[in-house]
Amino acid sequence: MGKKIAILGYGPSETKIHEKLSSMNYQVDWIQGDLEHKNLKRDLMISFGYRKLIPREFLELQSTPVINLHMSLLPKNRGAHPLFWALLNSEPVGVTIHELDEGLDTGDILFQRQISLDTSMTFRQAHKLARESLEELLLENIDSLFEIDSYKTKQSGSGSFHKKSDLPAGFLGWDSIIEEAVNDLRNQN
């Protein structure tokens, strides 16, 4: 087996990266639960859909890169529901792979890709397309993610942050058509 990769968050039934990385001869482990004070001794750690802030103490114990897969063009739309906020605010839509630090989606940027979405699809369909684009970006660049110091870039410009509770009360739901839901929310204000 090749290098060891830990995936924090989405399991094998939620993302194709477990299977794809295994087929590329990487040893892949799915890690769940409390991370504090654990040195996982992997060659790379990937946070994807992990729902907790990873403690600084955990990050300090690791001697290898710990990265996050995020569904926005950082520094815009840090935190929860990034794709929703980009669409609501008519901002460019994209995905980012970034190094983790003690902040929330504030680490150095490794790779980004802008994507196009059709606003006649649902938010759920858009999320699926963005997730697939992010998975592809990871798989295309996996070999370079084991040594990130030479190409990482500090986040620059003004960013934004959203909590789960920021989602507007009048939002029609994830199965609503993007254009209709966005227009509805704008008309409510």
How do residues 38-62 score in pLDDT, each as one tens digit? 777 899 999 999 988 888 888 988 8
How do residues 153-163 score in pLDDT, each as one tens digit? 999 988 999 99
Q: Residue 103: phi, psi to the nearest 5?
A: -85, 180
Contact 135, 43 (CB under 8 A): no
Q: Which amino acid is at 8?
A: L
> Over the chain, what is the mean pLDDT?
93
- Inform me whether the pLDDT recorded for 98 exceeds 80: yes
- Inform me whether the pLDDT recorded for 37 exceeds 60: no
Other C-beta atoms closer than 10 Å to the C-beta of 187 total 8
Q: Has this prediction a pTM greater than 0.85?
A: yes
What would the mean pLDDT of 180-186 be, rounded to a whole number?
96
Distance CA 12, CA 5 (A): 14
Other C-beta atoms closer than 10 Å to the C-beta of 164 total 9
Write down the pLDDT at residue 36. Answer: 62
